[in-house]
Structure 1
């Protein structure tokens, strides 16, 4: 039986995990909860055998996980992608945190009614964060070298999101532009992005001031 990935029908916290699963070619079933299916989730929440019931969840046989980072790390570990040495494992963990600083920074302000005001401060700080990744990619194909690791998909998702906030935010970072295209050109990812499985929108929950609603901005 294929593993089950359960989440709202949004990008949100689980998009990097979807990208990783597609890259690996691992069979999985998505349980997508629509905007009006809050009751459906609440009815199932305590019946799935989850120790800490929440969305997203991932059920792989007797492994039943919640928390997005636990899920993506579990899948990466199954495929020996967490690093071969203590140093490499620590660097991958560091990269997770560095990318999360960007993505969680968006989420922290996305639901605020004063988003447009808060966005100014976020975008002022964004170049400093992006430059660290730009510098790391100067002599690397991917964040950890020549091999794809799950923080690459986390960064791809974060870049996709901030570009909706400011279409010019990567103009000063050619390595990041190339990195984003490189991820999109991976055959498995390219196929996924063009498939009906791909969720373009919303980026956040439907109620979010930024990244919410049913359709992307024109």
Structure 2
């Protein structure tokens, strides 16, 4: 049987996992959990299973392949990278991969912190700080990336899909933030041009939105207006 990936019906934290599996041409099944409508946003579809799946650290996303059960996004990505040779191959590559992994993860966390808030006013207040933070972090990322084809050179790895998703979420949110970085914009095009990724992005299985769930103040509509 194919491994099962469990997550909500959105891109969020699961997309780098899906892209890594697509690049590896690995089969999988997606268990999509439903979030209830406002105002309650009922999570019982997930909560009713959360402690009954034998997950050692119950969380979404999860990866189940027979007796193998993994949670936590980065743990799943590291496992898949080792399994499909989509990770670093030496100490220097590991250092560079770790740096970009941490950088992308921190940027994504900043998006969630700003978008998942209680009120529209809080969102507007946080958005100003988010934009300033993203300007700084994109500068770091663009400089560190340099003229490489992919993060580790000419070979695509799992951390490319982590960075790709992060950058694309920013691109959907406020495209102008990426305008100063021709290398990052061409990198996004390069990832999307990979045959397996391109096939997936053009399929009915993929949609740019939602990025977040219905409780967020941005990214949860099927069509979302950028800033």
Q: CA–CA distance in 2 between the matches of 1:142 and 1:86?
A: 17
| Two-structure CA RMSD over aligned residues (Å) | 1.6
CA-to-aligned-CA distance 1:5-43 (integer Å, 9 cap, x gap): 000011111111111111111001000112237222222
1:54 equivalent in alignment to 2:37: no
1:123 equivalent in alignment to 2:128: no
Q: CA–CA distance in 2 between the matches of 1:165 and 1:200?
A: 11
1:28 equivalent in alignment to 2:28: yes
Runs of 5+ unmatched residues, structure 2 = 37-41
Aligned to 1:87: 92
Aligned to 2:111: 106
Query: Following superposition of structure 1 onto structure 2, how do residues 177-196 of structure 1 map, counting pairs within 5 Å?
Result: 177-196=185-204
- How far 1:214 sits from its partner (Å)? 4.7
Aligned to 2:158: 150
CA contact (8 A) 1:9 1:199 kept: no
Query: How many residues are aligned here?
Result: 218
Q: CA–CA distance in 2 between the matches of 1:33 and 1:118?
A: 29
- How far 1:74 sits from its partner (Å)? 0.7
Aligned to 1:6: 6
Q: Which residue of 165, 170, 174 maps to 1:162?
A: 170
Q: CA–CA distance in 2 between the matches of 1:166 and 1:200?
A: 14
Runs of 5+ unmatched residues, structure 1 = none
Q: CA–CA distance in 1 between the matches of 2:127 and 2:138?
A: 16
SS at match of 2:13: helix
Q: CA–CA distance in 2 between the matches of 1:158 and 1:201?
A: 14
Q: CA–CA distance in 2 between the matches of 1:17 and 1:180?
A: 17
Q: TM-score, normalised by structure 2?
A: 0.90
Aligned to 2:15: 15
SS at match of 2:175: coil
